[in-house]
Amino acid sequence: MKERVVCFIDGFNLYHAIAKLKAPHLKWVNLYSLSSVFVRPQSQYLVDVHYFSAYADWLPQQKSRHIQYVKALMASKVSPVMGKFKIKDRNCPSCHHRWNGHEEKETDVNIALALLDLAYKDKYDHAFLVSNDSDLTPAINMVRGNFPNKKITTIVPPHYTHSNELIKASSEKAKITIPHLERCLLPTIIYDAGGNIIATRPVEYNPP
**Judging by beta carbons within 10 Å of its beta carbon (0-12, 13-18, 19+), is residue 88 exposed, middle or buried?**
exposed
What share of the chain in percent tops pLDDT 70? 90
| Range scoring the smallest mean pLDDT among 47-61, 85-99, 106-120, 181-195 | 85-99
Task: Tell me the per-residue pLDDT of 99-146, one tens digit each, with 9 for 90 and over.
Answer: 454 466 678 999 999 999 999 999 999 999 999 999 999 999 999 999
Q: What share of the chain is helix, strand, coil (3-state, %, to 5)?
A: 40, 30, 30
Inform me whether the pLDDT recorded for 86 exceeds 70.
Answer: no
Residue 47 pLDDT level (bands cut at 50, 70, 90): very high
In this predicted structure, what is the pLDDT of residue 99? 44
pLDDT at 67 over 70: yes
Taking the C-alpha atoms of residue 70 and residue 81, their distance in angstroms, rounded to an integer, is 10
Residue 160 host element (H or E): none
What mean pLDDT is predicted for residues 135-160? 96
| pTM beyond 0.85 | yes
At 207, the pLDDT band (50, 70, 90 cuts) reads: very high
Strands (E), 18-150: 44-54, 78-83, 85-91, 98-104, 126-130
C-alpha distances in Å from residue 56, one per residue of 61, 117, 140:
9, 27, 28
Distance CA 139, CA 166 (A): 10
Q: Contact at 8 Å (CB) between 127 and 152? A: yes
Residue 113 is given by DSSP the state: H
